């Protein structure tokens, strides 16, 4: 079974290569971006890591941040932000079944 970090890495990498697959990218708060994408995109163990109509929240590990900081920063910049100094990144995921969308929210703390 993949880990939540594996799923997040795979999705972010895929969406970076295929930005046209992003349905919406929002930034309503100074430290948060929300990424919405259609649920036809394959997600490893989606039933576990993108639960139907519930939120799952996880703090990304220091190893994940060290290995994938550039990837996270690229989405931060895609949302129209300049560099942000952060020590933690929290990932909130969900499957929004009525909208046929997945939500991946990144909170930079």
| Bridge partners of residue 89, in order along the sequence | 108
Q: Choose among 53, 51, 25, 54: nearest CA to 37.
A: 25
Domain count, the chain: 1
Q: Which range marks the domain in which residue 57 is found?
A: 4-108
Which two tokens mark 55?
């939120």
Q: Quote the pTM value.
A: 0.89
Which stretches within the chain are classed as H helix? 4-17, 46-49, 62-78
* pLDDT averaged over 10-residue windows placed end to end, the chain, 109 residues: 76 94 85 93 92 95 91 82 79 97 93
**For residue 73, what pLDDT is reported?**
85
């Amino acid at each position: 079974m993949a880990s939540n970090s594996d799923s997040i890495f795979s999705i972010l990498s895929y969406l970076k290569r295929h930005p046209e697959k992003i349905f919406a990218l929002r930034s309503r708060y100074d430290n948060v971006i929300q990424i919405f994408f259609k649920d036809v995109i394959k997600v490893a163990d989606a039933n576990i890591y993108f639960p139907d109509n519930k939120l799952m929240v996880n703090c990304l590990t220091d190893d994940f941040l060290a290995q994938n900081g550039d990837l996270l920063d690229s989405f931060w910049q895609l949302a129209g932000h300049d560099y942000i100094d952060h020590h933690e990144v929290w990932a909130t995921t969900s499957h929004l079944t009525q909208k046929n969308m997945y939500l991946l929210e990144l909170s930079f703390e």
